[in-house]
Structure 1
Amino acid sequence: MRSLDGLHLSPSIPDARFWPASSSGFFSVKSFFLTLSHFSGSPQDFPSKFVWKSQVPFKVRSFIWLVAHKKVNSNDMLQLRRPYKALSPDICVLCMKQGESVDHLFLHCSLTTGLWHRLFQLANLEWVTPRSIVDMMSIKFDGFGASKRGRVLWQAASTAIIWVVWKERNTRIFEDRVRNSENLWDSIVFLASLWAFCSKAFKGTPLNVLQLNWLAVCSP
């Protein structure tokens, strides 16, 4: 709408189809996206590399995209959309201490924070919990080194934490089954290793070797 403010129509000039956002004059999704980026400023803040460049299954990347946009059905969102289907917004089924929101569930919940802490401890990194899960995605952590392997595995491990936490949350609500943090961590290690194993960066590395020592397989 802001771009249309400066547009002046002249009744004396015949109508014609023209798309000024591209050099060819024809519409393209890419040129439209770049035009929106120029006006809104939001894509610069969005962790697109973390979401779309990670070597994980597409359905997982799509879910992370929803998390980054805070569009998943956490209790605070359900309370707004479908109150009759929501649990109490003051209850997080993982910690039973605080309200469930995207930032709490995937970052600030005591169970989730413990999983993040374990990942950073494995990488020998000191960290301070960011304000939001988007900030967490945007910070460039070279936990397993700056090599291609290190970046692929770090993104896979970070994504696996978010994915496993969501699965556990749903399992507790809909199936009334609970896993402890040790079992959750085992699932994270397996998924991250499997996703990395399927990437080109780890071609030729056996899966069992990858699972045993992340730091060793990422070292130059």
Structure 2
Amino acid sequence: MRSFDCLRISPSVPDKRSWSLSPSGLFTVKYFFLALSQYSELPPVFPTKIVWNAQVPFKVKSFVWLVAHKKVNTNDLLQLRRPYKALSPDICKLCMKHGETVDHLFLHCSLTMGLWHRLFQSAKMDWVSPRSISDMLSSNFNDFGSSKRGIVLWQNACIALMWVVWRERNARIFEDKARNAEYLWDSICFLTSFWAFCSKVFKGIPFNILQLDWLAACN
């Protein structure tokens, strides 16, 4: 219990709320997780930079937040929360082989893993799948270079891949639609390039150049 003996209250000064971890004095989720990730006695619990610094729509950032914390409604979680709403809980709708978990769907599924391999190939890098999607997001890859453009483009590409995988999963479950890996990769390329095109660091770079060669656009 904290002691309030040292506090001095002045009746002439109006009360106000202040949160010391934010420069504005107002509570924000961003600065809350930033404080958690920088707390020396705890390991990083959230890939702060790739989420809050990413040049993507806010709803997509929120989605990645859920993925990193394993809070998206994959079938394994639905089976625990609402068993009657879990559709084929032991089957991943993308590969039709393994049970659907966050780590499987966004990292270890054969379809998703193929997309990750293709992303690393576009950066001319070899890649070994990590244990979890959280580890993947927390890794400091500089596969498009360490410049601001390279960092933004890599963050966009990783997030676009997860977003496209999630939308494809939902389309197969709720719309009975299935697209092949080539279509999904084209969608990832488009979103990555579009989000980068809308960011300040790629100002002046034509959209078609971004789509054609990510490495060249980062130089």
SS in 1 for 2:177: coil
SS in 2 for 1:60: helix
Distance across 2 between alignment mates of 1:154 and 1:28: 33
The amino acid across from 2:88 in the alignment is S
Shift, 1:200, TM fit? 0.5
SS in 2 for 1:45: coil
1:28 maps to which residue?
Answer: 19
Alignment coverage as a number of residue pairs: 204
1:151-162 maps to which residues of 2 (within 5 A)? 151-162=151-162
The amino acid across from 1:41 in the alignment is L
Distance across 1 between alignment mates of 2:74 and 2:132: 15
Residue 75 (1) aligns with residue 66 (2): no
2:42 maps to which residue?
Answer: 41
1:127-146 maps to which residues of 2 (within 5 A)? 127-146=127-146
Distance across 1 between alignment mates of 2:218 and 2:40: 40
Please provide the CA RMSD for this pair.
2.6
Shift, 1:142, TM fit? 0.8
Deviations 1:70-116 (A, max 9, x none): 11000001001111000232100000010000000000000000000
1:96-107 maps to which residues of 2 (within 5 A)? 96-107=96-107
The amino acid across from 2:154 in the alignment is W
- Structure 2: gaps of 5 or more residues: 10-15
Q: 1:40 to 1:82 in 2, by over 3 A?
A: farther
Q: Normalising to structure 2: TM-score of the pair?
A: 0.85
1:21 maps to which residue?
Answer: none
Distance across 1 between alignment mates of 2:156 and 2:194: 9
1:22 maps to which residue?
Answer: none
Distance across 1 between alignment mates of 2:211 and 2:151: 16
Shift, 1:29, TM fit? 6.4
Q: Normalising to structure 1: TM-score of the pair?
A: 0.85
2:187 maps to which residue?
Answer: 187
Distance across 1 between alignment mates of 2:199 and 2:182: 26
The amino acid across from 1:205 in the alignment is I
SS in 1 for 2:172: helix
- Structure 1: gaps of 5 or more residues: 18-24
